[in-house]
Amino acid sequence: SQTIHQWPATLVQPVGSPLSLECTVEGTSNPNLYWYRQAAGRGLQLLFYSVGIGQISSEVPQNLSASRPQDRQFILSSKKLLLSDSGFYLCAWSKILASEQYFGPGTRLTVT
Amino acid sequence: ILNVEQSPQSLHVQEGDSTNFTCSFPSSNFYALHWYRWETAKSPEALFVMTLNGDEKKKGRISATLNTKEGYSYLYIKGSQPEDSATYLCAFRTGNTPLVFGKGTRLSVIA
């Protein structure tokens, strides 16, 4: 069966510090991978998605970036965090781009 | 820009009550409509994927209907229980594009 891991579960970072969130998927190959953010009082916003190694599509311009160095690894990064980057970050995968998505446990990020 | 609207934003019901809420989406270029349940401190879990106009799906006490011509889907919960408390998300897609999520309906079932 497939499982998806995210870490860390919670993170408190000062403004201006870098960020690296990692997501890995087990039990499947060539998954489509996604990063979402839910800011306080807001809906689920798609940040990035990837259909393959090194292929990243950005949905919203921001100071975040994503990378996919391996087939089942998806990384969300920032060089300098802003207060507005606080939120709940979810990684997800799907078999094809438009199919049902399976979500990871999420990372609660607080930028202070 | 695709826009998916969910209403109401939040809902409080008594245990045993039946309830329903709405997801509205663009009626053109429809491909599929997904419903997810998102419980506090957990990840969103898929409930239904609906593709055909007039589709009706059911899982236990939860069911959903789909009207692609007018661009809406209803989610129904019969005899709500405290464990049904969660945020219910709908997501829409056209062709081979990522899902676009609504903001969700937060349901609280009071024992």
Tens digits of residue pLDDT in A21-65: 999 999 999 999 999 998 877 778 899 999 999 999 988 768 899
Residue B95 has pLDDT above 80, yes or no: no
Residue A109 has pLDDT above 70, yes or no: yes
Pick the residue of B4, B99, B101, B103 with the most A CBs within 10 A to test the interface with A by mutation: B99
Residue B102 has pLDDT above 70, yes or no: yes
| Average pLDDT of chain B, as a whole number | 93
Res B21: pLDDT: 94
- With a pLDDT cut of 70, the percent of chain B lying above it is 99
d(CA A36, CA A5): 14
Residue B69 has pLDDT above 80, yes or no: yes
Torsion of Cα atoms, B72 then B84 then B50 then B5, to 10°: 30
| CA-based nearest distance A111→chain B, Å | 20
CB pairs < 8 Å spanning A and B: 49
Q: Which residues of B touch A (CB under 8 A)?
A: 31-32, 34, 42-46, 49, 89, 93, 95-104
User: What's chain B's length in residues?
Assistant: 111
Selected residue with higher pLDDT from A75 and B93: A75
The DSSP 8-state label assigned to residue A84 in this structure reads G
d(CA A39, CA A33): 20
Pick from A46, A61, A60, A58: which is nearest to A94 by CA? Answer: A46
Res B65: pLDDT: 97
Overall average pLDDT of the B81-97 stretch = 91
Res B1: pLDDT: 63
Question: B101 to chain A: nearest residue by CA?
Answer: A44
Tens digits of residue pLDDT in B47-68: 999 998 999 999 999 999 999 9
Res B99: pLDDT: 86
Q: Which residues of A touch B93 (CB under 8 A)?
A: 98
Overall average pLDDT of the A65-88 stretch = 95
Interchain pair B96, A103: CB under 8 A: no
Tens digits of residue pLDDT in A1-18: 889 999 999 999 999 999
